[in-house]
Amino acid sequence: DDALAAIEDEPSGYLSIRGHIHLMQGKADEALSDFLQVLALKQAAGDDTGTAEAKADLGLAEMRRGNTREALRLIREGAEGLEAAQSPTFAIRARKRLAQGLLRSGHPFQAWRELNAAHDMAVRYQVYDQITPLMEMASRLATTLGLSCKI
């Protein structure tokens, strides 16, 4: 908390970072609480991008809590909202999270499609630091599934 004191004037930023720290510490319930507060703040401010990002973060917390169906719904809504808000970097990250959740829930072909969609977005918006990692992830998954990788 001391390290976050510098951004206490921006409560949603503080809560979001603290929520991710809670996730890293294995405290999914505390992370969920922080992300719910972020969502409420972003919705009250009419911040569509922030709302979508908060939903994707809530999805991560739900995934850690074992609520896979809810996690996938929230991450998907977040990804779609970020795309609609023209926030490709965060939308790509959300699509990668969605692919990971789909893999964990036993849907590897859907995960592969999400990785390809994220890759296409990275190329379209020239988010170069995401292209190679996405290609590697999709290629590995395609090989495992016996598919020919389209990227």
Q: Are 78 and 69 in contact (CB under 8 A)?
A: no
Q: How far apart are CA 116 and CA 92, in angstroms?
A: 10
Question: CA-to-CA distance for 126 and 106, rounded, in angstroms?
Answer: 31
Q: What is the pLDDT of residue 148?
A: 64
pTM: 0.85
The DSSP letter of residue 149 is P
Residues in Cβ contact with 126 at an 8 Å cutoff, skipping those fewer than 6 apart: none
Q: Model confidence over 39-70: pLDDT tens digits?
A: 999 999 999 999 999 999 999 999 999 999 99
pLDDT digits (tens, 9 = 90+) for 63-96: 999 999 999 999 999 999 999 999 999 999 999 9
| Eight-class DSSP state of 5 | G
Please give the angle made by the CA atoms of 10, 16 and 17, to the nearest 5 degrees.
95
> How many alpha carbons lie under 13 Å from residue 7 in its C-beta half-sphere?
12
For the stretch 13-26, pLDDT in tens is 889 999 999 999 99
pLDDT exceeds cutoff 90 at 11? no
